[in-house]
Amino acid sequence: MAKNIKKKFKPKEEKNIAKEELKSLEDLPLVGGLFKGLGKFVELVEKVEEAGGEIKRKGEIKGKEGVRGIYGFSIRTGIGERPRIQTFGNIRPTGVKEAKPKIKITEEREPIVDVFDEKDHILVVAELPGVSEESIKLELKGDILILEAGDEKRKYYKEILLSSKVDFESREEIFKNGVLEIKLKKS
């Protein structure tokens, strides 16, 4: 047990070194929505775990007839915690298994969403830049919260798995500067 504690709480100098190494790895290349250089990616995740913090990378693919594909990922962690990797964008696999994976570009983007399981409630935080509060629609189907938002320019869609049963009718919502916070009381 002492070994784990020692690993979790490194001296300040080592944390600073990890943060500097993290900065040098932030230019992880993305090609066509796929990671290139898996070794660098694994190294990047390890450095985020050591240093704590967040890294986001995003890109865009211009397709036929002006269709835009948006893709990206976010790696987030606190010092000594496990990294959480989340993808976002509007590029999805087709579901057809072939030697070369096929993708499709959907109209809706998948937003970055964090779910926090608190003592008496669940807090869902979603990044929805470029949409109005009036365009946000929420629906609960069993233990899945469905989030839709957008207009002609930007559309978002995400199915969020909740870890507990909630009282959907008593939810509290705050939308400010493109960030939606939803507080759902546990039932």
Q: Which residues pair with 172 in a beta bridge?
A: 183
**116 three-state secondary structure:** strand
The pLDDT of residue 113 is 92
Residue 131, pLDDT above cutoff 60 = yes
The pLDDT of residue 17 is 59
The pLDDT of residue 97 is 67
Q: What percent of the chain has pLDDT over 70?
A: 58
Higher per-residue pLDDT: 5 or 117: 117
The letter for the amino acid at 18 is A
Q: Which pLDDT tens digit goes with each residue over 56-80?
A: 777 777 766 666 777 777 777 766 6
Residue 118, pLDDT above cutoff 70 = yes
- Alpha-carbon gap, residue 6 to 119, rounded angstroms: 29
The pLDDT of residue 167 is 95
- Which of the given ranges, 12-21, 58-67, 115-124, has the highest pLDDT on average? 115-124
Q: What percent of the chain has pLDDT over 90?
A: 35
Higher per-residue pLDDT: 126 or 73: 126
Counting every residue written for the chain, the total comes to: 187
Tokens of 101: 């994976």
Whether the CB-CB separation of 167 and 185 falls below 8 Å is answered with yes
- Alpha-carbon gap, residue 71 to 88, rounded angstroms: 6
Higher per-residue pLDDT: 33 or 180: 180
Whether the CB-CB separation of 61 and 33 falls below 8 Å is answered with yes
What rounded mean pLDDT belongs to the chain? 75
Task: Name the burial class of residue 177, with classes exposed (0-12), middle (13-18) and buried (19+) by CB atoms within 10 angstroms of its CB.
Answer: exposed
Q: Which pLDDT tens digit goes with each residue over 139-163?
A: 999 999 999 998 888 899 999 999 8
The pLDDT of residue 87 is 73
The pLDDT of residue 88 is 74
Domains, the chain, ordered by start: 1-106 (no CATH), 111-187 (2.60.40.790)
